[in-house]
Structure 1
Amino acid sequence: MQNNPWFAPLVWMDYRLAVLFTVIVPLILLIWAFVKKNEAIQRLLIIYWRVASLLAITVYLMINAIPISFVTGIVARLLIPVSLWFWADINEEINDLPQRELKLAITSWRWGITVYSLLGAILGTPFLTCAISSKQALLSNPFCRVWLDPPWGYKQIFHANTNEAFLGFLAILALIIYVSYLSYFIFFRLGKQGRSAMEQ
Structure 2
Amino acid sequence: MNNDVWFRPLVWIDYRLAVLFMVIFPLLLLSWAFFQKAEAIQRLLIIYWRVSSLLLITLYLMIGGFGIAFLSSWIARLLIPLELWFWVDLNEEIEYYPNSLLKVIFTSWRWAVSTYCLFGLVAFLPFLSCAFSKDSITTAYCGVWLEAPLMFKEYFHSNVDKPESLGILGILGLITYVVYLGYFILFKLGKKRRSALQ
TM-score by length of 1: 0.96
Distance in 2, matches of 1:93 and 1:59, equals 34
Q: Which residue of the partner structure matches residue 132 of structure 2?
A: 132
Residue 157 (structure 2) pairs with residue 159 (structure 1) = yes
Percentage identity across aligned positions? Answer: 57
Question: How much has 1:137 moved relative to structure 2?
Answer: 3.5
Q: Which residue of the partner structure matches residue 68 of structure 1?
A: 68
Distance in 2, matches of 1:36 and 1:177, equals 33
Unpaired segments of 5 or more residues in structure 1? none
Q: Do the aligned residues in 2 keep the contact of 1:4 with 1:146 (CA within 8 Å)? A: no
| One-letter amino acid of the counterpart of residue 156, structure 2 | F
| One-letter amino acid of the counterpart of residue 41, structure 1 | I
Alignment deviations for residues 16-35 of structure 1 (CA, whole Å, 9 cap, x no partner): 00000000000000000000
Distance in 2, matches of 1:126 and 1:164, equals 25
Q: Which residue of the partner structure matches residue 26 of structure 1?
A: 26
Unpaired segments of 5 or more residues in structure 2? none
Q: Do the aligned residues in 1 keep the contact of 2:63 with 2:166 (CA within 8 Å)? A: yes
Q: Which residue of the partner structure matches residue 104 of structure 1?
A: 104
TM-score by length of 2: 0.97
| One-letter amino acid of the counterpart of residue 141, structure 2 | F
| One-letter amino acid of the counterpart of residue 62, structure 2 | M
Alignment deviations for residues 135-155 of structure 1 (CA, whole Å, 9 cap, x no partner): x4411x111000000101111
SS of residue paired to 2:5: coil
Specify whether residues 2 and 83 from structure 1 end up closer, same or farther in structure 2 by C-alpha distance, changes over 3 A only: closer
Distance in 2, matches of 1:168 and 1:54, equals 14
Q: Please, which moves more after superposition, 165-174 or 42-51?
A: 165-174
Q: 1:178-189 counterparts in 2 under 5 A?
A: 178-189=177-188
Q: Which residue of the partner structure matches residue 169 of structure 1?
A: 168
Aligned residue pairs: how many?
A: 197
| One-letter amino acid of the counterpart of residue 151, structure 2 | G
Residue 39 (structure 2) pairs with residue 36 (structure 1) = no
Distance in 1, matches of 2:197 and 2:2, equals 52
Q: Which residue of the partner structure matches residue 9 of structure 2?
A: 9
Q: Do the aligned residues in 2 keep the contact of 1:21 with 1:113 (CA within 8 Å)? A: yes
Distance in 1, matches of 2:179 and 2:4, equals 37
Q: Which residue of the partner structure matches residue 143 of structure 2?
A: 145
Question: How much has 1:161 moved relative to structure 2?
Answer: 1.2
